[in-house]
Amino acid sequence: MYQHAFMLNSTSPIPLYCQLADILLAKIRSGEYLPESRIPSENSLAQHYGIGRPTARQATDLLVRKRILIRKRGSGTFVCKEKKEVDLFSLAGTLSSFHKEGISVATRILKKITLKSIGNDPENPFANKKAYFFSRLSRVENVPVLIEDIYLHETLFAKIDSIDLSGRSLSQIVDENYYMRPKGGKQNFRIGYLTGKKAESLHVAPDTPILTVKRFLHFEQAKNVIYSELYCRTDKFVFSQTLGDYADER
């Protein structure tokens, strides 16, 4: 925070537009500018802080790119809606995490579950073996937010391809049909980019950064029983992670 009640410092090495962006962000976080409220116009900001309108424009542009502000043609610039937090990476599973927050989510199977031979992928624990595989897309308020590519142990999930997975939590299917619950696991987080059908399904451009997660779930019977590759849009939700026992999350 800058001194003198949010004043700009012309002698600072930090560009003025960055200083103004930080001031606006501080006012948003303090509640002075509430979600969905309109912030002062760029002309007003320029006049109040003694800067040129292009500098004010740079500041708001920066916050628009960070999805903190949104411009509405003919109306002005507004604070974005507060993002809901979804514990997407809990052991209870992805659909359970949405439902726990009271968020209605619709899923669509992109690739029907089938037993297939997995290629030579050094990160996939089923590489050069057979595993059940399916892919699904989750949508919230008709907006695609998540793609999951899921691989399951061939023996422990025998005949899972005869079960209808549409709209159902995988963790519940595993619990109710195979009497198993995960006991732990690990996850790798990266920023990636999508092309082709995955980009089309998530409605993102090739240069849109996507949160990519590679998830390994362990059970009493074996390690790496379920392996998932998750592709998450983060412009609608804040994805968090709860650490704890699976039984505490149901």
Q: Which helix (H) or strand (E) holds 26?
A: helix 16-30
Q: Where in the chain is the domain with CATH 3.40.1410.10?
A: 84-249
pTM assigned to the model: 0.61
CA distance 49 to 217: 53
Q: Which CATH number is associated with domain 84-249?
A: 3.40.1410.10
Average pLDDT, the chain: 84
The Cα–Cα gap between 26 and 31 comes to 9
Share of the chain above pLDDT 70, in %: 82
Query: pLDDT tens across 141-193, in order?
Result: 788 988 999 999 999 999 999 998 887 778 878 887 888 888 888 888 899 99
Say what the pLDDT of residue 87 is.
Answer: 45
Provide CB contacts within 8 A for 22, sequence distance 6+.
1, 2
**So what's the pLDDT on residue 250?**
39
Categorize the per-residue pLDDT at 243 as very low, low, confident or very high, splitting at 50, 70 and 90. very low
Residue 94 CA: distances (Å) to CA of 97, 133, 138, 146, 169: 5, 17, 9, 9, 7
Residue 178: its H or E element: helix 170-178
Is the domain 3-79 a CATH 3.40.50.720 member?
A: no
Higher pLDDT: 140 or 249? It is 140
Q: Residues of CATH 1.10.10.10 domain(s) within the chain?
A: 3-79
Residue 68 pLDDT? 86
121 band by pLDDT with thresholds 50, 70 and 90:
very high
Asked if residue 43 lies in contact with residue 53, where contact means CB atoms within 8 angstroms, the answer is: yes
